[in-house]
């Protein structure tokens, strides 16, 4: 009997080591979502991250950890390498954190394949089938959709010391979209929205960082739409005059002191990016929780639009969950 148990344990250990480094595409599970999307979460607990020569990201597995944790860390490293290889600005995005005093804790991202339909950017629906090429999407045997890349919504959690965390929400357009719907004939028809919500109150105000394909000129292109203790929503014109397109927009919470006897055992952050392409839309934004009490629930946000073309929008979500 003991011999059998030892054999089973050995097989389990081998399986863990063999498959610990495997990386699989993860489809986001949401029965109510009609669009295709891919989700991944990367944990940095047993990864050492450093910067070499000022512009090179170095990631190694902490070899001092127990065997099974090292195996899981190798899997996380493989997922990170996949993320870096498939996203143009990913390394620069992580370099900003790794080169400072903050410590990367966790990163999650959702990729949404997008295409151009009738002069606007639309997400690819689940009825499409993905071939071996990530950007070759077939709606059926007779039709091939021209996919312009992935819109990516990223959530990053960093530890700044003394029970203090900082969260980031970032929406990034694929470079293949930039320039396609550009020029004076293609100004933004409506506002886009980026939110960040957590199961703990974060300090106000939130910082925002944006990047443009060119100088957008003067005007009000970004403003806070609504702010509550546990979430915020900002709105932005992603191509205000048809002369410059939004490459990315990021929201950054200020440092939040998480008292050991008060913080939740799990930090949960949920972000949304809402893209619209019709003018005159009015957004109604409802939340399941606007309070300041620390609890285990992250506010659930509901977006609804009124006005002509109220269906001219899509919503992408991303969730990060970390056990402290």
Tell whether the model's pLDDT for residue 260 goes beyond 80: no
Local confidence band at 303 (pLDDT 50, 70, 90 cut-offs): very high
* Total number of domains constituting the chain: 1
Average pLDDT value over all residues in the chain = 78
E strands, the chain, where? 38-43, 47-52, 56-61, 103-117, 120-123, 129-130, 136-140, 143-159, 164-172, 192-198, 207-212, 222-228, 231-236, 246-252, 256-257, 266-276, 282-287, 301-306, 313-323
- 124 in any annotated domain: yes
Tell whether the model's pLDDT for residue 142 goes beyond 70: no
Q: Has this prediction a pTM greater than 0.75?
A: yes
pLDDT in tens, 150-207: 999 999 999 887 777 888 999 999 888 776 666 666 666 688 999 999 887 776 667 8
- 5 in any annotated domain: no
Number of H helices and E strands in the chain, helices first, is: 3, 19
pLDDT at residue 181, as a whole number: 64
- 261 in any annotated domain: yes
- 219 in any annotated domain: yes
**What's the rounded mean pLDDT across residues 302-317?**
90
Its domain, for residue 126, covers 25-323
- 268 in any annotated domain: yes
């Amino acid at each position: 009997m003991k011999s059998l148990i030892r054999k089973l344990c050995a097989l389990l250990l081998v399986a863990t080591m063999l498959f610990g480094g495997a990386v699989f595409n993860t489809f986001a599970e949401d029965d109510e979502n009609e669009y295709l999307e891919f989700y991944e979460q990367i944990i940095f607990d047993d990864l050492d991250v450093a910067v070499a020569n000022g512009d090179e990201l170095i990631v190694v597995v902490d070899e001092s950890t127990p065997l099974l944790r090292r195996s899981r860390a190798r899997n996380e490293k493989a997922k990170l390498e996949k993320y870096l290889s498939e996203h143009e600005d990913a390394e620069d995005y992580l370099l900003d954190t790794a080169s400072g005093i903050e410590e990367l804790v966790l990163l999650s991202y959702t990729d949404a394949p997008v295409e151009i339909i009738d002069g606007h950017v639309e997400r690819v629906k689940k009825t499409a089938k993905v071939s071996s090429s990530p950007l070759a999407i077939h709606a059926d045997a007779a039709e091939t959709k021209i996919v312009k890349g992935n819109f990516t919504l990223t959530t990053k959690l960093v530890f700044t010391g003394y029970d203090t965390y900082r969260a980031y929400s970032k929406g990034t357009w694929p470079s293949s979209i930039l320039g396609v719907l550009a020029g004076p004939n293609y100004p933004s028809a409506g506002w886009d929205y980026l939110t960040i919500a957590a199961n703990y109150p974060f300090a106000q105000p939130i910082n925002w960082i944006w990047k443009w394909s060119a100088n957008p000129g003067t005007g009000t292109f970004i403003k806070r739409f609504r702010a509550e203790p546990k979430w915020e929503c900002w709105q932005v014109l992603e191509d205000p005059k048809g002369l410059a397109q939004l490459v990315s927009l990021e929201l950054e919470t200020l440092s939040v002191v998480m008292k050991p006897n008060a913080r939740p055992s799990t930090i949960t952050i949920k972000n949304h990016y809402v893209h619209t392409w019709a003018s005159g839309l009015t957004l109604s934004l409802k939340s399941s929780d606007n309070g300041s009490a620390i609890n285990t629930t992250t506010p659930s946000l509901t977006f609804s639009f009124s006005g002509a073309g109220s269906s001219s929008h899509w919503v992408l979500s991303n969730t990060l969950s970390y056990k402290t």
